Amino acid sequence: MVQVGMFDKVCSVCGKALSSKSSMLRHKNLHLGIYSYNCSVCGKGFSTKDGLSGHMSWHTGTKLPCPVCQKQFRYKVDLLKHRKVMAH
């Protein structure tokens, strides 16, 4: 459920609604091509530390194991989807 006023910041470039001043600044920097975190291997930029960490797993081949069944995933988002589908 979204509360009234929860997304009161609207991007003047694309119209995306954001919930805080800091998220709006980070979002606007994406339009400008300004990234806070850059990959030391290929130079690709990311707006969040988590984004860079996930990307680095591509370079290193590091995989994240499911703590229940030990199936391994390259990306955190895939592990989270797996856990939701498997209900563990």
DSSP string over 17-68: EESSHHHHHHHHHHHHT--SEE-TTT--EESSHHHHHHHHHHHH---EEPTT
- % of residues, the chain, pLDDT over 90: 69
The closest alpha carbon to 26, from 46, 4, 1, 56, belongs to: 46
37-86 CATH: 3.30.160.60
Query: What is the rounded average pLDDT for all residues in the chain?
Result: 89
d(CA 48, CA 81): 20
List the chain domain ranges: 37-86
- How confident is residue 35, by pLDDT bands cut at 50, 70 and 90? very high
pLDDT above 50 for 69: yes
What's the predicted TM-score (pTM) here? 0.63
Q: How far is CA 24 from CA 21, 44, 72, 75, in A?
A: 5, 21, 34, 26
Is residue 57 scored above 70 in pLDDT? yes
